[in-house]
Structure formats: C-alpha cells, structure tokens
Homo-oligomer: A and B are copies of this chain.
C-alpha cells in the first residue's frame, strides 16, 4: 500500500525528523502518528508558536524553522501560531518591564513581518498562519474556569522558573500563572499533532498534552530543539541579550556578526545552521585542525552560506569581498599600534618562527613555518619567504600575519 501524498515511509520520515533534535517525547507516539497519517493520507498538524511582540526572527529560531521545513518536505502542514491574544494584554500595574502591550494594528503589522521572514524558509502552500485571539477571545469566564478544573496549583508550581520564584518568595502574578494553561489550550484549539519548542519550553509543551488529554483529544508529540547560543557564545540567542542575528539584518550586518563569533562557536553554528551534511562538516573541521584551512576561512564560508540563504544567492560572495576590502583598509588604522621591542640573535637576525609562536600568531613552530610557506606573513607589505629576518637597528617594521594579526616592532 502506497500513500498518495507521502513519498517517504513513516520509518524514513522518522529518521529524517530525528536528525539534530534534542528529544522527541514520546518517540513511539510520533511513529504512530506518522503511520496513521501515512495510511489515511492526512498530513500532521505541526504547531509552532511565536511571540508577536518580537517580530524579528533571528537565527536561533531558524534551527526550529528549518526542521519545520523538513516536515513540510515530507508532506505535513505547519501551523504557525501568532500569540496575539496575550500580546494584547497589558499590565495595568506597570510592574512587568518585559511585557509590551501591543495594539491590534501592531500585532497585524508584526504578523506580516513574521510571514515575510518565515517564508524565506517555509513553503507558504503548506503553512497556515493562526492567531490565538481567534479562539481565546471567544472564551468567557465560565468556560475558562472549566478549563482550570483540569489542573492543580502544585502542577503549575513545578515549572522550574515558578518553583524558583516561589521558594525565593519572589512574586508570581496570577495572570502569568495562567499562561501555561493558555498555551496548552492553544494545542487543544488547533488539534496539534506535534509541537516544537526549545528545552526551556518543555513544561508548557507538556501542558498541551495534559489539556488535550482532558479534552479527550490525541496528545501532541513534543519535539525539543537545541537552543542556539548567541554571538557571545554564552547566553541563548535572544533579543533581550542583544546577542542575535535577525533575519532582517542587512547582508553586511549579518556577515559581520557571523565573522565576530569565536572559533568554537563557529562549529556549533555549523552544526545547527549549515546545510552541509554532518560528514561535510566533519571534513571541514579536520582540515582546520590540520591547518590546511584557516579558521577565518571556514568562518567566511559559513557567513557566505547564511547570507546567501536570507539575501539570495550571490549576496554572501558580495559581502565577503566587501569585508575583505574593509579589512585591508584597516591596515592604515593599525599604523597607530604601539611599537614592540624585539630581540635578535648574535648575528642580528630575528627568528620569525619563534616570534610568530611567542606573539600567539601561530599555534606551533610547524604552524608558523606553514604560514610562511603559505605566504601569509608580510613585513611592510612584502611577503616573507625565509624563516629569519635581518632588521635595521632602530627602524620600525610592520609585520602582518594573515589578515588578522599585526605587530609593529623594532630592534
């Protein structure tokens, strides 16, 4: 028996879905759902919620959105939920600084911005944009109290941040306390089969399962995605920490921000963002470790890929070129760097291999020699071809190692 709309079997689909995912909860439920969907030729409803008070999607979100695209490619339907209802709830006490009250117009505007961004990745034909005000505006107090009968105070208090605040005697306002219930009820209203979220959303996603069960619906499957670190490599990528790359960032900003991350973080970004296969990434990493490829070059390759994705093919290469040009111009600025005294050997020569290692421009003597062989070392703009250099006493020289490192020295 073959499905009309699904090309991949449930098992094949599951394999594809699992790649790079932190947790599927429970996996057996997902396989069941995939089988039922396959046998009935009915796409699964994949829920993904977004906060309309922050319409800029950043690269952190794309980790999940790309996985949503995988579901679409397999034949399923993405229901992109704009949480406009809670976004329109103000805090009359002015107590909450993080909560921004939005007007209906702002929500509509932000929702449009959202769509423009996600459709850079998602297939519009297999995407439904939904607003939770659509059902939450219809709920009256009586119905809400009936929803509340499903859950106890203790159940909610177990949510990690609530528990921490409760025991630290920091206030938890009752409306905040209700939000997991509202998010769970969204899953009921949407009849979601799968909900996506980061590890920090696990509790709220489980609330969806709980409420669906109470409302006699099949329970949604949780797919927990890894959380991408921000540019600082420490906090998760987030607007609040100002460590993010927005999809609406200009090609220049996007390229520049990507070039600013640490080498370690670069590999994390490769894993979570690049379209390269796991094997291809492994190969590139190997080359960098063997000094065949400079980390700076690997970083540029990633930046080109990401900029191409969000600004069209060729945009990455353009930024690459401009970045290099800008970078060379910086040499002029480096004229201001202080002069370092360097020692010479009895014959008055500088050992460049030793110097490169001492200054941290090379990781080892072998690395230093290979830099010289690669013509990456220049003194006063002239490529160095030997491992020693004979300076005039008292004269200032400018040494440049690759594009990154500069040393002004005299003897």
A: residues with CB less than 8 A from B are 85, 88-93, 95, 136-137, 139-142, 144-146, 148-154, 156-157, 162, 166, 169, 171-175, 177-178, 181, 214
Contact = CB atoms under 8 A, between A and B. Distances in A.
B173 A93 contact: no
Given A153-B172, A171-B154, A173-B149, A141 B141 contact: yes
Contact of A177 (B85, B90, B153): B153
Residue among A142, A150, A153, A162 having the largest count of chain B Cβ atoms under 10 Å = A153
A90 to B, nearest CB: 7
A90 B145 CA distance: 9
Integer count of this chain's copies in the complex: 2
Given A141-B136, A152-B171, A146 B177 contact: no
B146 A174 contact: no
Contact of A174 (B92, B153, B162, B175): B153
A95 to B, nearest CB: 8
13 contacts: A92-B146, A93-B149, A137-B141, A140-B141, A144-B144, A145-B178, A149-B173, A151-B174, A152-B173, A152-B174, A153-B172, A154-B166, A174-B181
A148 B174 contact: yes
A172 B149 CA distance: 10
A287 to B, nearest CB: 55
A142 B85 CA distance: 8
Nearest to A96: B149
Given A137-B140, A171-B154, A181-B174, A149 B88 contact: no
Contacts of A153: 153, 157, 162, 166, 171-174, 177
Contacts of A157: 153
Given A139-B140, A141-B136, A174 B154 contact: no
Contacts of A173: 148-149, 151-153
Given A139-B140, A149-B174, A156-B174, 4 more contacts: A89-B142, A136-B141, A137-B141, A152-B173
A140 B139 CA distance: 6
Contacts of A156: 174
Contacts of A92: 146, 149
Contact of A93 (B139, B142, B150, B174): B150
Nearest to A90: B146
Nearest to A185: B141
Nearest to A143: B141
Contacts of A141: 85, 136-137, 139-141, 144
Contact of A175 (B91, B145, B154, B172): B145
A213 to B, nearest CB: 12
Nearest to A156: B174
Contact of A154 (B90, B95, B145, B169): B169
Contacts of A90: 146
Contacts of A139: 140-141
Contacts of A85: 141-142
A175 B149 contact: yes
Contacts of A146: 89-90, 92, 175
Contact of A140 (B140, B151, B177): B140
Nearest to A144: B141
A88 B175 CA distance: 24
Contacts of A142: 85, 88-89, 136-137
Contacts of A174: 148-153, 156, 181
A172 B145 contact: no
Contacts of A172: 152-154
A89 B148 CA distance: 11
A25 to B, nearest CB: 24
